[in-house]
Amino acid sequence: MKKIIIITLMLSGIVFLISCSRKSPTENPLKFEVVTYQKQSEGFDSLRDDNCAKIKIEFPQILSFENGLVKEKINNSISDLFAQDILGGNKSNDFETQMNSFIEEYESLIKEFPDAYQSWFIEITGEVKLNKGNIFSIDYMEYSFTGGAHPNTFVTFRNFNLLDGEEIVLDQIISTDEQSELTKIAEAEFRKLKELTSDADLGQAGFWFENNKFYLNDNFLITDSSLVFYYNNYEITAYAFGPTELTIPYSKIKPLIREKTLLKGLIE
């Protein structure tokens, strides 16, 4: 049985952030590449894919940076994030083995139930969302189907400090003393997004916040202009209502942001 494994380094996707023109204060010398792993079961036909299995894992890795230890630390963190425990197996960043396991599991199913006629797929992709100053932010997006009522989706964000390679946590941006005010502002933005009045009952509106009280989760992204909080399917409401992406502009929380924080270069 012929299987196809494609491992590509999409060098054409390497982003060079060094310009010959005048540099802005937020530019940095970091360069990255997108690494792609793909595999599909035998008999795959691009015109008919209702009885096959496909898997794709794609994520950014830092190609070069002035601090080699930081580069290695962040690359390892990203690789670990994209490591999979496919179909209940052991989590591993041996991506070739993981892909093989996925395809073999599917082929075993088809062998046992030859008239099943179903497709399996896993597509896991990561994109660099911000690379400025000392911040390197990415997303992780998973879209998969291995049987059931509907495909599954999951999104998470990671923001890295290029000074030490550590993940940035919310407390480093806004102190715990100010986070109650951040939550109030975020709730106002949430109600606006969901077209709810300021006194509308969240539970009656279909949301599952504990004790019927709005809260921010830890899944946030740092962008040029805002903090973005993401609630996945089933986290705060039914699957039918989809995920929630809540954007909080810096302009609305500027007084709350710590004086000495990596965000200052974005909001000044």
Q: What is the pLDDT of residues 102-132, one digit of tens each?
A: 999 898 888 888 877 788 999 999 999 999 9
Write down the pTM of the prediction.
0.85
- Give the 3-state secondary structure percentages of the chain, helix then strand then coil, rounded to 5: 30, 35, 40
264: confidence class by pLDDT, cuts 50, 70, 90: confident
Which pLDDT score, from 0 to 100, does residue 21 have? Answer: 32
Sequential DSSP letters for 110-146: HHHSTT----EEEEEEEEEEEEETTEEEEEEEEEEES
Least Cα distance to 265 among 159, 134, 128 occurs for: 134
Mean pLDDT, residues 175-197 taken together: 97
3: confidence class by pLDDT, cuts 50, 70, 90: very low
Which pLDDT score, from 0 to 100, does residue 7 have? Answer: 37
Which pLDDT score, from 0 to 100, does residue 42 have? Answer: 80
DSSP reduced 3-state for 254: helix
Mean pLDDT, residues 129-153 taken together: 92
Task: Flag whether pLDDT at 189 surpasses 70.
Answer: yes
- Say which range, 14-23, 139-148, 207-216, 255-264, has the weakest mean pLDDT: 14-23
Both tokens assigned to 1: 């049985």
Does residue 85 or residue 228 have the better pLDDT? 228
Which pLDDT score, from 0 to 100, does residue 114 have? Answer: 80
Residue 132 burial by CB count (10 A; 0-12/13-18/19+): exposed, middle or buried?
Answer: buried
11: confidence class by pLDDT, cuts 50, 70, 90: very low
Please answer whether residues 9 and 35 qualify as being in contact, where contact means their C-beta atoms are separated by less than 8 angstroms: yes
Alpha helices in 128-210 (DSSP H): 179-193
Please answer whether residues 254 and 267 qualify as being in contact, where contact means their C-beta atoms are separated by less than 8 angstroms: yes
26: confidence class by pLDDT, cuts 50, 70, 90: low
**Cα distance between residue 183 and residue 227, in whole Å:** 12
CATH architecture of 170-267: Alpha-Beta Complex (3.90)
**Cα distance between residue 244 and residue 234, in whole Å:** 10
87: confidence class by pLDDT, cuts 50, 70, 90: low
Mean pLDDT (the chain) is: 86
- Write the pLDDT tens digit of every residue in 147-165: 877 889 999 999 999 999 9
Distances (CA, A) of 213 to 92, 106, 160, 178, 209: 38, 43, 30, 18, 6
Least Cα distance to 142 among 217, 78, 34, 55 occurs for: 55
The domain spans of the chain are: 4-161, 170-267
Question: Counting every residue, how long is the chain?
Answer: 268
The CATH topology of domain 4-161 is Heat Shock Protein 90 (3.30.565)
In the DSSP assignment, the letter for residue 172 is G
